[in-house]
Structure 1
């Protein structure tokens, strides 16, 4: 049953207040008709006694207290869905903006989603191949996982997101249905156009559903955009049996909108002005990733967030780290050296990786090469710090070999440009890089593994090191 009221009690920012209302539910959809017959939309965000606060999607500009007709429709905001959402572009509220007409839906779902019973969750194990060596080999993305990318202003996170969309796949299982839901929040118009043009040029738009909220559009849409995207992903996963990868950028823009919205409601601010419930709010988004017993599909999330001042202790990355299962960290220093993608593998982590790699999932040697690569790169960082104090010429032969390894690792393994690599290629490249180190320094490998996987002559040839006069001494080949 719909209820209609005339007049308002107050207006504050994008929020209107009504008094004396009854029988209204939280999150109910509202139609607001102005004196000039203009129709706007909103949703109930707070009920205190008989005072109802309504968030107006289109804003409250030109709205007066009198002669405003408010109609409560008696249900939460829903979105019509079908497989036709693939290849389409929507705004933050889920309305098509690509000029291709409405979606002919066979299902309408609540944008807020439905809580997944923890008992019904399946533990994520199978992996998703992104084509990025640093991710696939060292911070493997597992199907059903939520793995954020921590970046900062000026880094190439948009380009990285595009590469993942273009090359991500369910490894070695082409018969399984795989698609991507991409949500951009608070982006500039040229960035929105960049995403769309890149997907079209790569001919992957037919497996992508895009949700675009630009910086000039209402913050209300920015708050709803990830919810619309995740509702679409849940439909494709749990009704159409797709494995869905959801990429959301930029979660910092979302949290800024949340802070502005909280301030307009007059709420007491928390740390750095963000609302005290931001942890719960982010959880309501991130926890919509996962797999359900009895369902074929899955929802995997890669939220991208820009760390203010590159500070990982800022509330946004701090809270995100508590909720999610790891992080991929982009490094400004690597970006300055023209390395793409500029992933700093040492602070990066995938907590579910150990259960989704190995013989039955990726390749039997995945775990050991990953461990040894990280250990060797950490040693390279130590040697680099030492060389800045005493100079490279004073380093021991072993330290010189790690210095060489680190430089080659960054230039050949991390730096891959727009080229996609299969997981097998990345693992083979990792073994070749380890082959240039003295065997006694490979403390994570057994003698049998060293003799099986390391091929020094092949590595020297691959990295064009045979003509280097120092190589014989550094590698101990006397």
Structure 2
């Protein structure tokens, strides 16, 4: 039952406080009305005996404490969902902003999602092809996995995200059971225009659902953006049996909004001022990826975050790394060398990669090939450090071949055009081509039978 109250106790930042409220519940949506002002939406964030704190999405500017009506809906935030959301653009609270009208659905869905029964989860198998060699070959994205990208300010993570959206496909794609849900938090208007333009020009917009919270939108709205996106992904995956790739950028903006709201609520801060519950809050988002028994769909996540000062020990990448199954790390030094995408393969890993590659999924030589490339490129770093001391001319013949391998690896394998879409076979063949630079007796991590079958001198 809806209940209306006509007085506020106080308003602080994005929060309003009310006393003597009966039967309010956490996460309940409220409507705030004032004479001559458009109505505002809020969410109950704290209940303490009759005292209630409400987070106002549009802020509390010009809000009167007395000339106001607050209506409690008795329900959490819900959004309408149907297959018509494909190809549409929404704001951070699920309202259409593309001018194509409202979404009409038979039911509304709670944005906080439905908890996945651990017993009902399926182990992630098979892979999603991104068309980017550094990811497909060495940190393969497995269907049902959560694999974040750790970036930094000024690095081309937006271009990488757009490239993944336009190129991503599943190995047995029939053309109509793969979708991308794209959630952008705290982005600028020109960045939103960039994403929309790329998706429309490449013809993938009809399989993309976009949720965009802009930098000048309320920070409070940023908290709801990934939840709306993941609710849409759950609908497409578990009710429409689609394989869904969810890309969320930028999770650092989300965490800063979380810190801002926590500070307004006067909560005790943790590391670098972030709230102590940030780990569980991020987990409530990341753990919504996966596959379920009895469902033909899956949810795969690529959260993208910018590391302040390129610090991988910062709370946001640190906690994300604990929850997710690996990471893809972008390198500023590679970017300064003119290499795109600047993926540093050595600190990057995909913990589930071994379970979705090989004979049944990609190709029989893929696991050994990836191990050998990692080993060779890590050896390159040691030899480069040695060359800085004694000079490259003083290196042994084998070491000089490793130096050549390192240069070719970065220029031909890591470096890739924004519109260059490589199949998994092209990526694996290129890896063999690079290994042919090295003496055959250096290929100690590959089955000799595979060397004989695939290596071309």
Q: Normalized against structure 1, the TM-score is what?
A: 0.94
Which residue of 2 is the match for residue 346 of structure 1?
Answer: 346
Which residue of 2 is the match for residue 435 of structure 1?
Answer: 436
* Cα contact 1:130–1:169 (8 A) shared by 2: yes
Which residue of 1 is the match for residue 370 of structure 2?
Answer: 370
1:241-272: CA deviations, max 9, x gaps? 11000000000000011100100001111000
Which residue of 2 is the match for residue 167 of structure 1?
Answer: 167
Distance 1:449 1:421 in 2: 22
Offset, 1:176: 5.8
Distance 1:176 1:423 in 2: 21
1:37-59: CA deviations, max 9, x gaps? 53111111110111001111111
Distance 1:341 1:106 in 2: 43
* Cα contact 1:289–1:300 (8 A) shared by 2: yes
Which residue of 2 is the match for residue 244 of structure 1?
Answer: 244
Offset, 1:409: 0.6
Which residue of 2 is the match for residue 454 of structure 1?
Answer: 455
Which residue of 2 is the match for residue 395 of structure 1?
Answer: 395
TM-align CA RMSD? 0.9
> For 1:218-233, what aligned pairs fall within 5 Å after superposition?
218-233=218-233
Offset, 1:64: 1.4
* Cα contact 1:16–1:54 (8 A) shared by 2: yes
Distance 1:398 1:375 in 2: 15
Offset, 1:175: 5.3
Could you tell me which runs of 5 or more consecutive residues in structure 2 were left unpaired when the two chains were aligned.
Answer: none
Whether 1:327 aligns to 2:334 is: no
* Cα contact 2:6–2:70 (8 A) shared by 1: yes
Which residue of 2 is the match for residue 274 of structure 1?
Answer: 274
Whether 1:192 aligns to 2:196 is: no
* Cα contact 1:170–1:176 (8 A) shared by 2: no
Distance 2:257 2:323 in 1: 20
* Cα contact 2:358–2:366 (8 A) shared by 1: yes
Distance 1:371 1:19 in 2: 62
1:435-465: CA deviations, max 9, x gaps? 1100111121233332222111xxxxxxxxx
Q: Normalized against structure 2, the TM-score is what?
A: 0.99
* Cα contact 1:17–1:51 (8 A) shared by 2: yes
Which structure has the greater CA radius of gyration?
1
1:284-308: CA deviations, max 9, x gaps? 1000001111111111100000000
Could you tell me which runs of 5 or more consecutive residues in structure 1 were left unpaired when the two chains were aligned.
Answer: 457-478
Distance 1:69 1:206 in 2: 41
Offset, 1:400: 0.4
Distance 1:340 1:435 in 2: 24
Q: State the 4+ residue runs in structure 1 displaced beyond 6 angstroms.
A: none
Which residue of 1 is the match for residue 67 of structure 2?
Answer: 67
* Cα contact 2:13–2:60 (8 A) shared by 1: yes
Which residue of 2 is the match for residue 463 of structure 1?
Answer: none
Which residue of 1 is the match for residue 295 of structure 2?
Answer: 295
* Cα contact 1:181–1:210 (8 A) shared by 2: yes
Offset, 1:173: 3.2
Which residue of 2 is the match for residue 459 of structure 1?
Answer: none
Distance 1:348 1:446 in 2: 24
Which residue of 1 is the match for residue 39 of structure 2?
Answer: 39
The 1:200/1:112 distance shift into structure 2, 3 A limit, reads: same
Offset, 1:10: 1.1
- Equivalenced residue count is 456
Which residue of 2 is the match for residue 105 of structure 1?
Answer: 105
Offset, 1:104: 1.3
Distance 1:440 1:408 in 2: 20
Which residue of 2 is the match for residue 421 of structure 1?
Answer: 422
Distance 2:173 2:81 in 1: 26
